[in-house]
Chains A and B, each alone.
Chain A
Amino acid sequence: MAGTEAIGHGDAEAHDAPRRDFLKILTLSTGAVAIGAVAWPFIDALNPTREGEAAARPIINVGGIAENTAIRVDWLGQPIYIRKLTTKQIADNQFVVPESLPDPADFSARVKPGYDSFVVVVGLNTGIACELEGNNPSDPRGPFDGWLCPCDGSVYDPLGRVRSGPAHKNLAIPRFTFLNDTQLQLG
């Protein structure tokens, strides 16, 4: 096209070609890095804040829970029950044949290996949503010494498995990990 010829003359232009290519690559790569560096804050701002992350992954002290009782923790709007089993409760429930239950689940599926005296469940009845009773030894617990639903009378064992009642699903187990013998992190 008229007038678009590069400013430069013959040999000098051929001589400059690699130099120009180098400058082009340099400009484009610097530009790409710059765009990435500017774009990252915009994207990272969409991530959860550190406060939000910390609130979503609370660390719970379970060292103070007495045997045969459970504590209640509010986590993301759900009541979480953390219960410490007695040796008798473990012995009673360890060898129950899963197929004999309404929602078959064996002992190892309800506790973490190495921490089998702790049961962590969402404390809501799986039939009609209703908070369960039975955290304190003095609460009504039903025939299996677990939890009882005050609304529809569903019965759960200490592992949170449904034994009878309108509900036909075991209590949900939230995502959690044991940090050590006395600390547990939800989320």
Chain B
Amino acid sequence: MYNFTFHRPTTVRQAAGLLARNPEGKLLAGGHSLLPVMKQRLAQPSALVDLSQVEGMTGVELKGRSVVIGAMTRHADVAKSDVLKEVLPGLASVPGSIGDPQVRNRGTIGGSIANNDPNADYPAACLGLGATIITNKRRIAADDFFTGMFSTALEDGEIIVKVSFPIAKKAAYEKFKHPASGFALVGVFVSKRGPDIRVAVTGAGSNGVFRVKSFEEALKKRFSPKSIEGITVPASGMNSDIHATPEYRAHLVGVLAKRALTKATA
């Protein structure tokens, strides 16, 4: 690890100010992606701006027809939120599948989304529910937020403050874990909220999280696993590595989508 300065602001405004003064700085929102690459000397931020003491950035709250989760809410806290389990169990099931207990007790929803790891779970949940990412500057629809592998619509100095998830009547996540890392080799989030039907896939695409329009179209008739029977997802554009071929990933998208639909409609 290289030397860096460490800052621990208590307000979002202070954090934004520190970021502005440290153009080579990074936000620390849990650190389970950032710190390992710093230890390997593959990242060299000049400053870390730790968000853990910033007020008002944690918690799960029911607000009207949405659930709002503070960006610094730890995965473990999201997973055990009674409110969430009650109104949106499909989303509540996502953080429990992330990493191991250590990761779940440090990692945060904001950190995960801002990093947009192509194998991360939360991006599928955001896109799969049509969430709104609320920053210190604006509100960004999930459809516009994830712009490619490790890339988002966030601008310099922009900090995710909270994420608002509309409550979908039917929603579920199914994940096939990467055997070594525990990330999603493929993960599929499905939801139905009135006419808004979404199927979002993480882990599989070489350009990060994406929606499967062919599935969504088919599900408009009937939100059931049967509706997507026989529809295949092309292998082109899928990730290829030692753990899974593009063909296998494409196949898993279909299998997991059906399983998620079964769960969502149970």
Answer yes or no: do A and B interact. no
A-binding residues in B (CB < 8 A) = none
